[in-house]
Structure 1
């Protein structure tokens, strides 16, 4: 409606100017020059009025957008005018101004709401631009880094030089742990970086979390699990020794009186020998258990070298096939890219892969079309990895948190240190090992 009225106003003024021009031209050719001059003056006045009318509308719109740009919503245009089109235009601009003001207020309220959430969060959050300026930092991150207010990462030099060097070199998708300590306490900080773009400005969103309590809890849980397994294994070995020792002792002693050798019969001697053999076997098992514990604790530092991934996996495949029937098991190798090389200790990583391969074979026993895949490649984080996949029934969910605990095993044979030893070897390589098991099982070794 507003644009229509303005349009009609312009058409009316232009038509009136054209008629005046035609009339002035007519009087000019009739020789009535005075009337023609008056007509020209009228045309000039009409032109000036048209320009003024257009400028008045343009100025209002320009004022309106300048006010919006400066977030000034106090601008109001008069709505009671003699010119209907201008009155409607002013009304529309005032309505639009009110709508934008409402949206702006809601946006501010939403921003305050989100900022309050960030302020109350237990994790530290802040953003850094390419020049190192800290655009936002919630109170938690300032408490964790023991410095406020945080405006630039150079301020971290006063906290810890190494911490500043770490933040200075942060890259998108970095994920690291840093121990920040002073004379009072130590904090284990987990740092995760995510790139974001706001108004064409590339920023780095950094999340800082104090994981010291979580590490303490996990360490305590690990010790509890280890002690539980050790206690179980030792008690299983010691209990028969104690029971058999008591039985043999009854052959030779009644109450506090030792039986004379002449009172022994042949059955007592045979039972004594059998009992001593059981005690010997149990003692040997306990010695083997202790030896496996010592092996777990004395893994040497890796002697790393560049090894073609295809060569490493082919070696593991041959070793696995030597211990099984090739007709009942299919072992596949997939390496991408073909010339992929790994900087590892070949002997130690082969030991890890053999252990995972043997576990995969055991899970496939009695299953048709059993397949084990040895996969090597580079993931989306540009880190090299090796996966051991099998299409077996998978690991029960309740056991997934236990399988890496030293000496934990669900088998009738074995010491239960294979997976925990594998994890230890990967830790020494600066990498990690994790498992996903649902309808099938996939162990992934990731190298730094």
Structure 2
């Protein structure tokens, strides 16, 4: 119908133009009415201009409509209520097409928001990017994992870890990679899985991230606990009768010596002395082993943490009060830097004090032999969004050797002659019960243990 109206208008204009031209020719040929001929010539020129404008208007409208479609601009509207326009139905068709495209775009946008909402609910990090590295989709878990508020290109992750970017680029379809990433004070062990797909002629990578550091640590701790349970059970079953037997034999020996002495019989003092010394050694070592087993049982039977609101300032003041005299006696300076804010944490105050006391004493022993020995305790809130409270215990001792650094949290491992090897392991277990963690970094002349705790929400 729109094109029928267009043709009709074209025909009327052409017929009128032809009529005027014929009339102009007749006037010029048969009469000398030059003024009339001039007026007819002006009318013919006007009709030619009107015809060209009429035809070009269609081209302009179609060009404008296609340009809007090309740029996905479906807000352009064409007037369809004009009584004199022959394009009303054509414009209505343009508007209908725009409405259809707008509905499709709205539907796609709704699907995208729906997909984005699902992706945000997933506990693992998700990232998709094309061959140029441009990020198409990234969820909040990924941003928080790597502390990046915005991510437009995967190359931006090189500031966090060049190895991570290399793994993203080099890992192929349905392959996995394990990358160690240092983010601030925390070390992450990231397991990433890559899936490739081609959409609209472009190759995309879909990557899922999962920090398995805590799971590995939890598994490691559970494994050690199982081993220790078996060891303590077997050791206790063996040591108890040995102690009892050694004590009984020692008593019987004493009785035999007394009886022979009363009878006046000669005694082999050297043999008796060796037997007595050997039995005493068995008893002493067995008792010592039993004492060690009792200490190890503490690691297995750590009571559940009773979490209550604890003011960080008061906690550190108590540590200073408890240890200041002991530090002075060992000529070690202790410095405590309190947070500016009145921060609160949910914690078991006694257990947390036990951790801090253990770390401060370790620091005191590490730096006591040096010049100007000092242990510092600093509590602060890192600048990262949703960061945990951090308490650093730093000493200026000789540092921890690199080959020892990754073993100090293993139960029973110790470099001290009189150490039991359970202090740091207990501390780590306590921190995990608090939903926090404990990290260490060391270099010659400085060692820092960092505790991370969740703040109490206001």
TM-score (norm. length: structure 1): 0.50
